[in-house]
Amino acid sequence: MRLPGPSPFGVLRYFPEARRGLLAPLEAIVRDWGDVVRIPFPGDPVYFFRSPEHIRSFLQENDGHYRRSYDDLKRFMGDGLITSDGSSWRKQRKVIAPMFHGPVVAGFFEQMTEESERLANRLKTTADSSGKISFDVEEEMLDVTLRIVTRCLISNDLDATGRRISELMTLMMEHIVARLRSPWRIPFTWPTPGLRRFERALRELDQVIYRLIDARVEAWKSRSESDGRDLLDLLLASKDAETGEPLSRKMVRDEVVTFILAGHETTAHALTWALDLLASHPAEAQRLQTELRHVDLRSASTLMKLPVLNQVYREALRLYPPVWYIERVSTQAHQIGEYDIPEGVRVAVSPYLTHRDPKLWKNPDSFDPSRFDGSTERQSEIPESRWAWIPYGAGPRSCVGQPMAVMQFQTVVARLLQEFTLETEGGKEKGDASRINPLITIRPRKPIRLILTPK
């Protein structure tokens, strides 16, 4: 069966919305056409699905019929886990998945706690004469998550090197994002000033990362087995499951860049929106603060079992899933449900739109963490399908770093809410889609400033 959808002419009426990014037009198209829609972008249609059963068919059952469409990201992430496909991806996933299993991630708890404490202490030094601290929440969350991920990856080698890596990555992402937003796909071979800056940053990034790798290989010669292990150690120690060979220097470089990029921006934006939600819902912030009052934040096992914190986490990621849009290109004709998918077309789902589907969620736009309290009264409000809550994607290519993301989220939110009260600066603007800048992750369109008061 063919997918319904607007004609190439009819789709033009959604274009005025497109200046705010793809989210607003997509929301409007789904509102008008429903859960299954073919969007006829000129020469390159998108086959879009919103319902859990189609998401399962797309990301789980038919995973083998797709390849990634991240050609731009490949320019600097190389062939790491996110950008690779087929047998190369399968081999990498086998090697990398164990690095993010519970016990390994638990080993990073101390670094996360220290960085959250460091953030709280530094913010306190910026208080004004009345004791209030006004801060740009996205900026601070990007900083703390970058510090955490670089410490987990390269432990003590941080500071100047970590900061330079971050600057270079930001430069390159700006170029990629400018390309994604531009209506013209300028070929990567055209030497525009933006591309030249990108290439220069890429060369320097490679030098910095290869220097780190080589220094670590050298340091290993004089290390004892009992020395601490970070993710770079684990990468260098890992072996190809079939050949038993260690990962090549280039593969280690590609995974390092992948971990930094994937593990930093996503968690930072999950935290940004969660803190914004708590600041604008004082009763919910209060409920969480009551739970945190006597909790020892240095105990990972306690922190990971706090019910209200967990509800806030699930609800914040429902309302603002940082990866708001997931797309693949079909490599052979097949069906999703009864719908025909030809070879070579783009197929997509949006965690954001599924998480706000009123057929699945009661009051989908409200921040109501208690909907996840597991009580019998509220159980009926949670969709039965586990494919209705998909901030980490789903199926074989779901997020490998989820346990690390959860721990980072809990550690930072718990620390800030235990030490400070939180409020918005100048009230909250209405209308979510207009506050969101939907790039690879959903970012705030304008800086969100919040106010903390030490307790």
Binding site for ligand HEM (CB under 6 A): 81-82, 93, 149, 258-259, 262-263, 266-267, 270, 322-323, 326, 391-393, 397-401, 404-405
Q: How far is the CB of 271 from ligand HEM (least distance, A)?
A: 8
Letter string b/e over residues 196-211, b meaning 16 or more CB atoms within 10 A of that residue's CB: eebbebbeebbeebee
Taking the least distance from each CB to ligand HEM, the nearer of 165 and 399 is 399
Taking the least distance from each CB to ligand HEM, the nearer of 385 and 402 is 402
Q: How far is the CB of 290 from ligand HEM (least distance, A)?
A: 25
Q: How far is the CB of 237 from ligand HEM (least distance, A)?
A: 17
Q: Are 165 and 205 in contact (CB under 8 A)?
A: yes
Taking the least distance from each CB to ligand HEM, the nearer of 258 and 330 is 258
Taking the least distance from each CB to ligand HEM, the nearer of 267 and 330 is 267
Taking the least distance from each CB to ligand HEM, the nearer of 64 and 131 is 64
Could you tell me the CA-to-CA distances from 130 to 119, 318, 426, 451 in Å, in that order? Answer: 20, 36, 17, 12
Q: How far is the CB of 272 from ligand HEM (least distance, A)?
A: 11
> What's the rounded Cα separation, in Å, for the pair 364 and 121?
36
Taking the least distance from each CB to ligand HEM, the nearer of 235 and 326 is 326
Taking the least distance from each CB to ligand HEM, the nearer of 151 and 397 is 397
Taking the least distance from each CB to ligand HEM, the nearer of 11 and 56 is 56
Do β-strands 442-444 and 326-330 pair in parallel, antiparallel, or remain unpaired? unpaired
Q: How far is the CB of 267 from ligand HEM (least distance, A)?
A: 4
Q: How far is the CB of 37 from ligand HEM (least distance, A)?
A: 20
Q: How far is the CB of 251 from ligand HEM (least distance, A)?
A: 13
Taking the least distance from each CB to ligand HEM, the nearer of 21 and 322 is 322
> What's the rounded Cα separation, in Å, for the pair 61 and 50?
16
Query: Nearest to ligand HEM by Cβ — which residue?
Result: 401
Q: How far is the CB of 405 from ligand HEM (least distance, A)?
A: 3
Q: How far is the CB of 126 from ligand HEM (least distance, A)?
A: 26
Q: How far is the CB of 47 from ligand HEM (least distance, A)?
A: 16
Taking the least distance from each CB to ligand HEM, the nearer of 180 and 451 is 180
Q: How far is the CB of 53 from ligand HEM (least distance, A)?
A: 18
Taking the least distance from each CB to ligand HEM, the nearer of 67 and 203 is 67
Over the chain, what HEC string results? CCCCCCCCCHHHHHHHHHHHCCHHHHHHHHHHHCCEEEECCCCCCEEEECCHHHHHHHHHHCHHHEEECCHHHHHHHCCCCCCCCHHHHHHHHHHHHHHHCHHHHHCCHHHHHHHHHHHHHHHHCCCCCCCCEEEEHHHHHHHHHHHHHHHHHHHHHCCHHHHHHHHHHHHHHHHHHHHHHCCCCCCCCCCCHHHHHHHHHHHHHHHHHHHHHHHHHHHHCCCCCCCCCCHHHHHHHCECCCCCCECCHHHHHHHHHHHHHHHHHHHHHHHHHHHHHHHHCHHHHHHHHHHHCCCCCCCHHHHCCCHHHHHHHHHHHHHCCCCCCEEEEECCCEEECCEEECCCCEEEECHHHHHCCCCCCCCCCCCCHHHHCCCHHHHCCCCCCHHHCCCCCCHHHCCCCHHHHHHHHHHHHHHHHHHEEEEECCCCCCCHHHHEEECCCEEECCCCEEEEEEC
Distance in angstroms between the alpha carbons of the first and the last residue of the chain: 60
